[in-house]
Structure 1
Amino acid sequence: MRTTFPTSVSAATMTAAAQDYTQRGWTVAETANGLCLITDDEVSGIEVSGELAGQVRRFLRANNLSGPVIEIPGAQRREIHLVTGLRKATLALEALTAAGAIVHTDGAGILLPPTQLSAGSACWGVTPAEARWIPPVVALGAAVRAVTARKRPQLTSVAC
């Protein structure tokens, strides 16, 4: 499903935001729908949804691992966590996709929230300015493993 953003953001605001993202080392493109992050080896996105999204966000916050997060409106909670280090994280990526996460990388575009929000549009849950870093994908993998491990049935008896 493709998400579109309002186009009411002025060209000057988009250019200022594009410059800010470019100074962060991100590759961005200005489209008719707004600014788009072009994923690469340095910055990619992991999309999680539903209950898992909330649990992952809490785990990352509690362990001081949060990075930039885009919240996508809809009936079900959806978030895209910006991450780095995908080249060296094959096992983490396999675990994330097995848990239902969507990986945005290798030139995929992620529409970035507008700087002037309107009701119902995607927004930054954690802005790039608030985030102390862009975490490695293995941090997000650890969060998913931790929260899904809690759902597994616990041993209730011991065989003798």
Structure 2
Amino acid sequence: MPATFPSSSTLTASDAVQDYRRRGWTVAETANGVCLITDERVAAVELTGPLAAEVRRFLRANNLSGPVIEIPGAERREIHLVVGAAKATLAIEALRGAGATVHTDGASIPLPPTRLSNGAAAWDISPTQARWIPPLVAIAAAVNAAAPARHRRLAEVAC
């Protein structure tokens, strides 16, 4: 039976740390809150702007959504937690080529509840809402599927 995960709005930082660790995640407490430390089990893909919106639609339509952290700011910015980065070198290269930031090998990712300079990190899809943590290649497929849609729209506007 999967562990239950309370809403981030009801968690203190120490409660969150315990819950994240029960999930097998490597986390650290900082002055601003809690951070995921990416490792061989969990990594992250950061997307911004229209690409983030297109990827989100693709993942939902194909029932592939996993935990997503929303980072406040002027432009849409979200971080998708993923697994399988160690075996996805080509997918990582493709994601980076498409403008995504891939966080692996000890990168620090803010987890709710974490205070940032422009607001607070928040779960858009919490770990309890997600049925799984998708493989990195699923995000790469979503980015690949979103690319033609962006080019079609640009061509339609140009005509």
Shift, 1:111, TM fit = 1.1
Shift, 1:115, TM fit = 7.9
Question: 2 CA distance for matches of 1:19 and 1:135?
Answer: 22
Task: Give the residue type in structure 2 aligned to 1:71.
Answer: E
Residue 144 of structure 1 corresponds to: 143
SS of equivalent to 1:97: helix
Residue 57 of structure 1 corresponds to: 56
Question: 2 CA distance for matches of 1:115 and 1:150?
Answer: 34
Q: Which runs of 5+ in 2 are unaligned?
A: 1-8, 153-159
CA contact (8 A) 1:44 1:83 kept: yes
**Are positions 1:77 and 2:76 aligned together?**
yes
> Greater helix percent: which structure?
2
Structure of greater Rg: 1
Segments of 4+ moved more than 3 angstroms: none
SS of equivalent to 1:122: strand
Task: Give the residue type in structure 1 aligned to 2:42.
Answer: V
CA contact (8 A) 1:39 1:105 kept: yes
SS of equivalent to 2:66: coil
Task: Give the residue type in structure 1 aligned to 2:143.
Answer: V
Counterparts of 1:36-51 in structure 2, within 5 Å, are 36-51=35-50
SS of equivalent to 1:121: strand
Shift, 1:121, TM fit = 1.9
* Number of aligned positions between the proteins: 143
CA contact (8 A) 1:17 1:115 kept: no
Shift, 1:152, TM fit = 3.8
Counterparts of 1:118-137 in structure 2, within 5 Å, are 120-137=119-136
Shift, 1:150, TM fit = 2.5
With the length of structure 1 as denominator, give the TM-score of the two structures: 0.83
Residue 96 of structure 2 corresponds to: 97
CA contact (8 A) 1:73 1:122 kept: yes
